[in-house]
Structure 1
Amino acid sequence: MLDNHTIAVLALTVLALFLFSRERIPLATSCLLILAVLAVGFELFPYQGPEGVVEPVDFFYGFGHEALIAVCALMVAGQGLVRTGALEPVGYMLAKLWGKHPMLSLLATLIISAVLSAFINNTPIVVLLIPILINVAARTKSSASGILMPMGFATLLGGMGTTIGTSTNLLVVSVAAEMGVTKFEMFDFVLPAAIAGSIGMAFLWLIAPRMLPKQPATANNVINRIYTAHLHIPAGSFADGKRVQEVIAKTDGELKIITIRRSAKEGLKPLPDTVLSANDRLLVHDTPDKLKQFEQVLGVILHPDDPDFDGHEHLNNGKQQLAEILIHQRSPLLGQSLQSVDFVSRYHLVALGVHRDGHHQIKALPNGLGNLTLQLGDILLVQSASERINALSLMEDFFVLEGTTELPYSKKIPLALLIMFGIILLAAFKILPIAISAIAGVLLMILTRCIDWGDVVRGLNLPVIMIVASSLALGHALTVTGGSEFLAGQFLHLAAGAPPAMILSGLMLLMAILTNVVSNNAAAVIGTPIAISIAHSLQLSPEPFVIAVLFGANMSYMTPMAYKTNLLIMAAGNYKFMDFVRVGLPLTIIMWLAYSVLLPMFYYLPH
């Protein structure tokens, strides 16, 4: 017999599922509403459960829950990898490979995306790969829509392999542990996830691209202007002592050298066998992204390699950004050179290149960028510390164009990777719980300046925090009022007489459907106590049923709102709602059938 509190909590669960599926209502608002209703309701109408009076303040315990701490710390640690540019070499390698072997490159992209997502939040991985894959599609004259969705879904498949792969995994494992289930270790279910994931990856590699319409991707809002710049060759860099053809080959043929400048009077043609030497200046015309890429790949620099150059302090001072500034009619720079106005000392900026429209495009910089007489409409590409770039909008000396680009702390890449590996290994070898190792890792990233507190804030995701806290509260309410036992009983009633393997399969399918309508975290936390109740009713081990909930709740393929990375690839790939159904529905069926066969085999459930 259901009491009033149980009925109220079940009704609130239905309301929560409805609110979480409404795009017009901010997710954080819906979560706060659920928390407030639970706390106020149990305060005004006290409830005596089997273990005593339920304290309303207990519904806020999710904010200090181990799962939420781990989720937040891992989001910040992932931001550290993004901020240092540690993932960029992966993207560059894939872009380089794609021009030679498209099919193998697609497979490599899917595998790398999946493996990285087993340990890192998949959002930064998707954000990194979207522009790379769009550019690859443009260069190979293929459709980006056939690449982006398989890549996004591959990150979801990979995230199912470890306890830290997604916030959903962490939640399910933590809630199950609180309910007495033996705590899962990091790689406890990696084998069935890898086998089923391989089947899903084969579908994404060979079939999914052919099911998607060929259509152009959404163009990048940022205009990639072509800048004229000098690449200065420092002594000991890769380019020092190399032939021109070797340097060009290092950039996969993307570097186009106009002139090799050895002095104001001496300019050499970039013949393939010409040997470059320290202090040479390579005149190039390219986009800011490509210019910075050449710096990283070749070890060259976009500013003078001179100890007397007073811009070094501004380039090595804290977080760096790029900006574009336009020379207007009232600018004191108009008709002047950068050296004549003492640009670096006056503005604390370093100019890296100049853009000039039309037939007046700069053909040569014999005396260097600092001695170029600036004209009306010239745009300078400048770099400096973030606070200096942010202060530019207050100046009237020039007009700051929209958009700035944060530059990665490239020197911190090895350190950020070492810290991230430490987080994972400490948890994998059971030396520290993942929540503690992740918090320690974030502290190390802050102390070593891989990230700052601004990066910490950017790494955190408020809707994720709120959905985790509210889902834990709702799961607690279902447990203490007996709601989960009631739902489990109804499920078993419908499946009366079915073998345990079929019941497990049905539970996983229910979670797969639910996760595409509401938040995957909400579906997982609501489903976990139900799964444990079902296992107890069948007098079976709860582990396979908990894993069924975990896998089912991660099958967020059928709708764009099912997972935040789906929304990212929807916008970038110009997909429609039915494109997700077209690919996501068969992928869901494939994964559901694969796990329905594998889990009973691994956990010896009778069919």
Structure 2
Amino acid sequence: MIDALRAFIEAHQAALSLIILAAMFVGFLMERLPATVIAILGACTYLALGILDADGLYSVFSNSAPIVIGAMFVLSGALIRTGVIQRVADAIMKRAEKHPRLAIVEVLVGALVASAFLNNTPVVVVLIPIMLKLSEVTGVSAKKLLMPLSIAAVLGGTLTLIGTSTNLVVDGIVRQAGMERFGIFEITPIGLVTAASGMIGLALMWWLLPSDKSMTGPAGTHDAHQYLTELVLDEDDDLVGMTVEAFRDLPRSGRIVGVRRGSAVVRGGDLEHWTLAAGDRLIVRVDGATLMTWREQGRFRLGIGSGEPAEGDMVVETMIASNHPAIGQRLADIPFLQKVRARVIGLDRPAHEPGPDLASIRIRPADRLLVAGGPREVEALRDNPHLIGADLAKVRAFRRGKAWIAILCMIAVVALAAFDILSIGVAAIIAIGVILVTRCIDSEEAWGTIDGDVLILIFAMLAVGLALEQSGAVAMMVGWVEPLLVGQPMWVLIFGIYFFALILSELLSNNAVAALMTPVTLAIAAQLGVDPRPLVIALMIGASACFATPIGYQTNTIVYAAGDYRFVDFVKIGVPLNIITGVSTCFAISFFIT
């Protein structure tokens, strides 16, 4: 019985492979399970049926593409950790104060350029608050800004080999197939045409973008962790005798909400011109990373409490439980501040600004606290049944002194790969070694920046692609389409590959489409006796430059939620934009490459 079953599978493995692939497509479309889970189930099914052998499964882990992608995640994380990204964002906001509408164009162009070298997901995440602030300043609906932000980031990913993980996946597969690897800027001439046509098309269709107000709220309220804190001025502080507006250490995302002198709190329009004195408390709303940076610098005494900073102190992040006995009481009156040597250095209440100062805040359930104290105090917080999730704070101080190292490492990776001195994978791994040794980012943070879902999805889909190839399914698919393509000019092949990849990528993961279609594309080129390189480039860009659905690309999904869009909003802009960029790209490939 078992032998008969094995013989049946071996005789029909190509057809069975396509049935499994079709079932995976249905799973991707239904979204009942995450795409990563479906991809793993598909790979496991091929393995269980013997269509994919163990050696084939292990071989996918030798593919360099996922390693390079993971390395680029870490390098992007180092730029965030050292404050480079925040400094850039602050510079943009300063520019926006004088020329807000021009700043919108500059942010979009900046997103496009940055996404050519950085993972575009963190680029979009960092720029969303800037776009929301620009919406507030200019009166332009956030819905007219956030979708273009995603589109610009996607277009930027087509400019270089490292612009998107899809390009790296394709490059890894073609190199494994024996084809010469792509240079980092080899696709740039085509990408420039794609990006230019996309941005021009976006400008022409600006009027189609929705203009109603989103549910996002005022700029900055989307930030889950903006802490209210207090900075105590010592007698020898440089700010003593100066006005509030002289305080320059605040990022653009933060703001001074008041000054406390004795029992009086000054807020409102006259605040900037208030002259500071020793003992004044600056009441500030700021992100966690900046707050931790101030604590590390030791210039200010932060927050409230009976304890003074001491060597070995840790910072714990915890949340007030709904059964806390201090609910409704002032923060300064909660018992543990009187009983232990600890300081509350910040309180976060999302979508609401507590106040008027840190001490006077009335405690509510789900308030998030940053508390500094020694080992005994930390243990006491963890044992407190009225606090949820008391653990070491995940927010870290910026390492601004290391910023130049992170920047040079990123530049070196691009330069070494561009001049063919080192492969991009080797250069990126060496750069990671440098940023870890120089402590631009700690090792646990570095590994935390890697999106495990992306890497596992890629490995699983590489295994699926290999199973299709080994089973003869790829040859079967080529046999179906070959009669339609024989004798066709190259530009027809380019258009066909591009738009087939585009349609699939609007429905499925870009990386999954790249992993599946690359072997098919190479097989078609070999069967027809044509140069595979133009077809592979068409596949790279077609699998990335998709705008018609919020699930077509990860950045689309991010702004879909942040801007409170409807599905049809993407369709109205995305379909014509897909056509404009697709036609321009295919003609450019036909002109430059063939």
TM over 0.5: yes
What is the identity, as a one-letter code, of the residue corresponding to 1:464?
Answer: V
Contact kept, 8 Å, 1:353 with 1:381, in 2: the verdict is yes
1:69-468 to 2 correspondences below 5 Å: 69-205=67-203, 207-208=205-206, 210-219=208-217, 220=221, 227=228, 229-230=230-231, 232=233, 247=247, 280=278, 283-289=281-287, 292=290, 301-303=299-301, 310-311=308-309, 313=311, 346-349=340-343, 351=345, 382-384=370-372, 394-396=382-384, 406-411=395-400, 412-468=402-458
2:5 maps to none
1:225-261, Cα deviation, whole Å (9 max, x unpaired): 8947336379796x58866555589977985585596
CA–CA distance in structure 2, aligned partners of residues 103 and 270 of structure 1: 28
Match of 2:505 among 515, 525, 531: 515
| In structure 2, distance between residues paired with 1:453 and 1:218 | 35
Match for residue 582 of structure 1? 572
Q: Deviations over 1:35-70 (max 9, x none)?
A: 112222226xxxxxxxxxx84431232233211111
Q: How far 1:27 moved relative to its partner?
A: 1.7
Matches within 5 A, 1:517-596: 517-596=507-586
Task: Give 1:342 deviation, angstroms.
Answer: 7.8
> How far apart are the structure 2 equivalents of 1:227 and 1:530?
56
User: What is the letter of the counterpart of residue 46 of structure 2?
Assistant: L
TM-score for the superposition, normalised by structure 2: 0.80
- The residue number in structure 1 matching 2:4 is none
Partner of 1:39: 47
Cα distance in 2 for partners of 1:292, 1:408 equals: 6
Aligned-residue CA RMSD (Å): 4.6
CA distance in 2, matches of 1:208, 1:427: 37
Which residue identity does 2:152 align to in structure 1? A
Do 1:172 and 1:550's aligned partners in 2 also have CA atoms closer than 8 Å? yes
Q: Which amino acid in structure 2 is aligned with residue 289 of structure 1?
A: D
Partner in structure 2 of residue 506 of structure 1: 496
In 2, the alpha carbon distance for the partners of 1:540 and 1:432 equals 29
Q: Any idea what SS the aligned residue of 1:87 has? A: helix
Change (3 A) 1:162 1:377: closer
CA contact (8 A) 1:74 1:438 kept: yes
3-state DSSP of counterpart to 1:288: strand
Q: Distance in 2 between matches of 1:387 and 1:155?
A: 44
Provide the rounded CA distance (Å) in 2 between the counterparts of 1:79 and 1:236.
Answer: 33
In 2, the alpha carbon distance for the partners of 1:156 and 1:253 equals 25
Query: In 2, are the aligned partners of 1:242 and 1:275 still within 8 Å (CA)?
Result: yes
Distance 1:383 1:599 in 2: 58
Q: In the TM superposition, what is the alpha-carbon distance from 1:566 to its structure 2 partner?
A: 1.7
AA partner of residue 34 (structure 1): G
Query: Any conservation in 2 of the 1:227–1:287 contact (CA below 8 Å)?
Result: yes
Partners of 1:11 and 1:467 in 2: how far apart?
A: 20
1:9 corresponds to 2:17: yes
The letter for the 2-side match of 1:38 is Y
Secondary structure, in 3 states, of the residue corresponding to 1:118?
A: coil
- Cα distance change on mapping 1:468 and 1:255 into 2, 3 Å: closer
Aligned-residue offset at 1:193:
0.3
CA change 1:392–1:112 in 2 (3 A) is: farther
**Cα distance, 1:439 vs. partner?**
2.7
Residues 497, 539 of structure 2: 8 Å contact kept: yes
Q: 1:127 to 1:322 in 2, by over 3 A?
A: farther
1:170 Cα deviation after fit: 0.5
Percentage of identical aligned residues: 25
* Structure 1 residue identity aligned to 2:68: A
**Cα distance in 1 between the residues matched to 2:500 and 2:146:** 27
2:27 matches 1:19 = yes
Distance 2:25 2:378 in 1: 42
- Give the secondary-structure state (helix, strand or coil) at the position aligned to 1:287: strand
Following superposition, the deviation at residue 474 of structure 1 comes to 2.4
1:95 Cα offset (Å): 2.7
**2:3 aligned residue:** none
Q: TM-score, normalised by structure 1?
A: 0.79
Q: Deviations over 1:91-115 (max 9, x none)?
A: 2222333343333212111111122
Partner of 2:7: none
Give the SS at the match of 1:108: helix
User: What is the letter of the counterpart of residue 398 of structure 2?
Assistant: Y
Structure 2, unaligned runs of 5 or more: 1-9
Contact 2:409–2:435 (CA<8 Å) still a contact in 1? Answer: yes
Q: Secondary structure at the match of 1:516?
A: helix
1:584 is matched by which residue type in structure 2? G
| Shift in CA distance, 374/465, structure 1 to aligned 2, threshold 3 Å | closer
- Is residue 353–residue 382 contact of structure 1 (8 Å, CA) maintained in 2? yes
> Closer, same or farther in 2 for the Cα pair 1:34/1:399, shift >3 Å?
closer
| Whole-angstrom CA distance in 2 between matches of 1:558 and 1:389 | 53
Deviations 1:531-584 (A, max 9, x none): 223333443321111101101111231111222222211111111111111111
CA contact (8 A) 1:106 1:205 kept: no
Letter in 1 for 2:92: L
Give the partner amino acid of 1:351.
Answer: I
**2: CA distance between counterparts of 1:539 and 1:385?**
70
Once residues 481 and 376 of structure 2 are traced to their aligned partners in structure 1, the CA distance between those partners, rounded to angstroms, is: 61
1:266-287 deviation line (CA, Å, top 9, x unaligned): x9x97978887xx846544442
Q: Supply the distance in 1 between the matched residues of 2:374 and 2:141 (Cα, whole angstroms).
A: 37
Name the CA shift for 1:602/1:457 in 2 (closer, same or farther; >3 Å): same
Q: In 2 relative to 1, CA 437–350 (structure 1 residues): closer, same or farther, beyond 3 Å? A: farther
Contact 1:231/1:300 (<8 A) preserved:
no
In structure 2, how many angstroms separate the alpha carbons of the residues matched to 1:492 and 1:60? 32
Aligned equivalents of 2:99 and 2:570: distance in 1?
27
CA distance in 2, matches of 1:600, 1:491: 21
1:47 aligns with none
8 Å CA contact 1:248, 1:255 repeated in 2 = no
Could you say what secondary structure the match of 2:131 adopts? helix
Contact 1:326 1:401 in 2 (8 A): no
Contact 2:341–2:377 (CA<8 Å) still a contact in 1? no
1:599 corresponds to which of 574, 581, 589: 589
User: Within 2, Cα distance between the matches of 1:335 and 1:491?
Assistant: 73
CA spacing shift, 1:392–1:492, aligned 2, 3 Å: farther
* Residues 519, 245 of structure 1: alpha-carbon distance in 2 compared, 3 angstrom cutoff: closer
1:313-344: CA deviation from partner (whole Å, max 9, x where unpaired): 367x6xx676676999966xx89979x9887x
CA shift at 1:118, angstroms? 1.5
Instruction: Please give the alpha-carbon distance, in whole angstroms, between the structure 2 residues aligned to 1:458 and 1:213.
Output: 37
Shift of residue 17, structure 1, vs aligned partner:
2.5
Secondary structure of the equivalent of 1:229?
strand
The secondary structure found in structure 2 opposite 1:230 is: strand
- The letter of the residue matching 1:32 is I
